[in-house]
Amino acid sequence: MKIVMISNFFNHHQQPLSDALSHSADEYLFISTSPIPQERLELGYREPEASYILKVLSDEDRAYAMRKVDEADVAIIGSAPESYIRGRLSQKKLTFRYSERPLRKPHESWKYPIRLIRWRRNNPVGAPLYLLCAGAYTAGDFARFGLFGGKAYRWGYFPETRRYADIDALMNTKERCSLLWVGRFLRWKHPETAIYAADILRKRGYDFTLTMIGDGEMLPAIRDLIAEYGLADRVRLIGALPYDRVRAYMERSEIFLFTSDQREGWGAVLNEAMNSACAVIVSDRIGSVPYLIQDGVNGMTVECCDAGALADKIGYLMTHTPERRSLSAGAYRTVIDCWNADTAAERLIALCDYLLSGRDTNGLYDDGPCSKAPLLTDG
């Protein structure tokens, strides 16, 4: 099977899946249509080198890439020009759209008519075009426009998976009552919720440290909040760090906080924190949460921006060690057993085999990558 993936740029989050596909498929090619933006490079993104990567740097590169797309048995398109797949769609060749949710901002209904026309044109209903949902709300968003009915599958992002010889030993080395928040300091990631929760916990007499890693427009306001609430001895602002150093913080932190709203289409830091055996407490609006988290089994969910509920659950986990360790172990097993690049690649190839041969994919997988995506809405 020849598989080609087209996206804007290649980065370390995409490499594990691409490595797995390159080992499993007869031929695999990743077409990178643009360089990594400078702001991403400053956040620690790197552009790995691999034999299966084709960087489109010239008209000649683009012509070759288009030819490879047309020749492939399966094409997967992410954030890339539509021109790459128009030929395939007209020839009715198997194609997947790899997408986070398209309707992240509320109260934009005035854009719906324009989107309806454009999306219906780019996603012809009768074509063998399917949706890989990088987020639990993706299928529901597209369904509002009458698209991908019965043709949407659970998917996501699959960053590096680390397998530890002794997960209990890893949990034993974690710093007691250590909280971690990682992300860009943007309004829709709501770093202030973590600060409000920290203030509640301090007032209740809890002993803890909160480490916040990242940079962004809200960082000065967060510094001011820390000073206003007298949390300088509890909250550490580290700044942006390379990926490996972030993972090191995850490995030694007990509890991971993820506070974004619905504009977080997926959130690969959740995969990484779960793989690092953190007990995770997450906002219910984040795209990856309904796919990855079973509340009370491998993590805890809270209503977005509810600092009081967040503080309650942090306090519970800090004072209930067996329950916290159970969630941590459950989070780790979720990534190791199911939500990882090797499993995703194996399942994708099986799904493609079914679709190429005209077989019914209902029941192929009950959960996890390549299972049918339910139509979820977040109100």
Rounded CA gap, 91 and 69, in Å?
Answer: 12
Rounded CA gap, 59 and 63, in Å?
Answer: 6
Rounded CA gap, 147 and 109, in Å?
Answer: 17
pLDDT given at position 39: 67
pLDDT given at position 329: 98
The three state secondary structure string of the chain is: CEEEEEECCCCCCCHHHHHHHHHHCCEEEEEECCCCCHHHHHCCCCCCCCCCEEECCCHHHHHHHHHHHHHCCEEEECCCCCHHHHHHHHCCCCEEEEECCCCCCCCCHHHHHHHHHHHHHHCCCCCCEEEEECCCCHHHHHHCCCCCCCCEEECCCCCCCCCCCCHHHHHHCCCCCEEEEECCCCHHHCHHHHHHHHHHHHHCCCCCEEEEECCCCCHHHHHHHHHHCCCCCCEEEEECCCHHHHHHHHHCCCEEEECCCCCCCCCHHHHHHHHCCCEEEEECCCCCHHHHCCECCCEEEECCCCHHHHHHHHHHHHHCHHHHHHHHHHHHHHHHHCCCHHHHHHHHHHHHHHHHCCCCCCCCCCCCCCCECCCCCCC
pLDDT given at position 104: 80
Share above pLDDT 90 across residues of the chain, in percent, rounded to a whole number: 84
For residue 48, what are the contacts with CB-CB under 8 A and spacing of at least 6?
A: 10, 11, 12, 15
Average pLDDT taken over every residue of the chain: 93
Rounded CA gap, 100 and 59, in Å?
Answer: 29
Residues 238-288: tens digit of each pLDDT: 999 988 999 999 999 999 999 999 999 999 999 999 999 999 999 999 999
pLDDT given at position 379: 53
For residue 359, what are the contacts with CB-CB under 8 A and spacing of at least 6?
A: 353
One-letter amino acid for residue 202 of the chain:
R
Q: Which residue has the higher pLDDT, 112 or 5?
A: 5
Task: Give the strands of the sheet with 129-133, arranged side by side.
Answer: 53-55, 27-32, 2-7, 74-77, 95-99, 129-133, 152-154
Q: Reply yes or no on whether the pLDDT at 126 is more than 90.
A: no
Residues 296-349: tens digit of each pLDDT: 999 999 999 999 999 999 999 999 999 999 999 999 999 999 999 999 999 999
pLDDT given at position 204: 97
pLDDT given at position 48: 75
pLDDT given at position 41: 64
Surface-to-core class of residue 240, CB atoms within 10 Å of its CB (0-12 exposed, 13-18 middle, 19+ buried):
middle
Residues 202-219: tens digit of each pLDDT: 999 999 999 999 999 999
- Average pLDDT on 41-53 reads 75
Q: Which residue has the higher pLDDT, 5 or 14?
A: 5
